[in-house]
Amino acid sequence: MKFDKSTMESGYRCFLYDAATIIAARLELENNPKARQDLDIGTNDNQLAIETALNKIRSLFDFFGKNSCGDDLSCKDFDFGLKSLSSDQYDIRTAIHKYSMHLTWERVSRQKTALPRINKIIERSRELDKWIKEFISHCNSKKLNPDGPLGPKYLNFINKNIS
């Protein structure tokens, strides 16, 4: 489905929000010594940063790795090629979906062993940086500007915090 430029710029802003949020969560995890000592999910004070990072990893893996379904945004909506998720990335995406995003009985019995440890969350979020930068560059080449007062702030935050 094709959208007008204004709608595309709103979609771009929403993408930037997810990208900025995962970066902020990662910075919180990296800069909190207590979180770095306790590498298991669900056992430290930084659970909000962990859950946010998990949620946004899944969101961005889906954005980059799947055709849009229903009203989901996809990088393909922006004429940006889909990325192939590695088997490890796909396994983490599935674990997040099954053991963090939904209340299931399998989650009850396997959550401690199924979810990635904090260091894996940081590693997976860093893998997204390259795709985020490529997508921003693509949007710049298409002369898309994130709409609203917050879009440029998200973009600035991302540019300052990924290498």
How far, in Å, CA of 96 to CA of 83, rounded? 19
Predicted pLDDT at 30: 80
Closest CA to 133 of 54, 56, 76, 80: 80
Q: Which two tokens stand for residue 24?
A: 């902020």
**Torsion-angle region of 18 (φ positive above 0: left; ψ -120 to 50: alpha; else: beta):** alpha
How far, in Å, CA of 156 to CA of 82, rounded? 25
Query: What pTM was computed for the model?
Result: 0.84
Residue 150 phi/psi, 5-degree rounding, is -90, -25
End-to-end CA distance of the chain: 33
**Which residue's structure tokens are 């959550």?**
111
Establish how many alpha carbons lie within 13 A of residue 136's alpha carbon, considering only the half-sphere containing its beta carbon: 22
Predicted pLDDT at 9: 96
Query: pLDDT tens digits, the chain, 163 residues: what are they?
Result: 688 999 999 999 999 999 999 899 888 878 876 655 555 555 556 677 777 888 888 899 889 987 667 888 999 999 999 888 887 777 777 777 776 777 777 767 765 565 556 677 777 778 889 999 999 999 999 999 999 999 999 999 999 999 7
Give the chain's largest Cα–Cα span.
Answer: 49
Q: Which two tokens stand for residue 65?
A: 């790795």
With contact defined as beta carbons under 8 Å apart, do 152 and 16 qualify? Answer: no
With contact defined as beta carbons under 8 Å apart, do 27 and 161 qualify? Answer: yes
Closest CA to 101 of 67, 52, 142: 52
